[in-house]
Structure 1
Amino acid sequence: MHYHHEQTFGWGTLALLNAGLAQSKGRSGLNWFLLSLLLGPVATLLLVTAFRHPPEVMGR
């Protein structure tokens, strides 16, 4: 496998992981998937550090 194909595979895998992480935090998985395709590890850093779980409503 060529280096370019390995890099593309890794970038796509990271985008899928970010989409799952975003959904677990109550964010749009599709939007974060697309953002991750553009920004890669920077999107992961933003997702992990900047965005917290949305506050839960009491009584639900």
Structure 2
Amino acid sequence: MENSYFVGWGTLALINAGLAQGKNRSGLNWFLLSLLLGPLATFILVLVEKRG
């Protein structure tokens, strides 16, 4: 059970990195931030505007 928690958290971090790159933001920075904040980072990333 505990392993699936870590796999899900890591998968979410990868998804956030891809989403960040789609918004012209640093995928690595958002990946690392997502490892710390998890779903909260996803919420923040959805709210931020795309860089021009």
Q: Which interval holds the TM-score relative to the shorter structure?
A: over 0.9
Aligned twin of 1:32: 30
Aligned twin of 2:40: 42
TM-score w.r.t. the length of structure 1 is 0.84
TM-score w.r.t. the length of structure 2 is 0.96
Aligned counterparts of 1:32 and 1:9: Cα–Cα separation in 2: 17
Please state which structure has a larger fraction of its residues in helix: 2
C-alpha RMSD over aligned residues: 0.6
**Could you list the runs of 5+ residues in structure 2 that have no partner in the other structure?**
none
Point out 4+ residue stretches in structure 1 off by more than 6 angstroms. Answer: none
Figure out how many residues of one structure are paired with residues of the other and give that number.
Answer: 52
Higher RCO (C-alpha 8 Å, min separation 6):
2
Residue 4 in structure 1 maps to residue 2 in structure 2 = yes
> CA offset at residue 54 of structure 1?
1.6
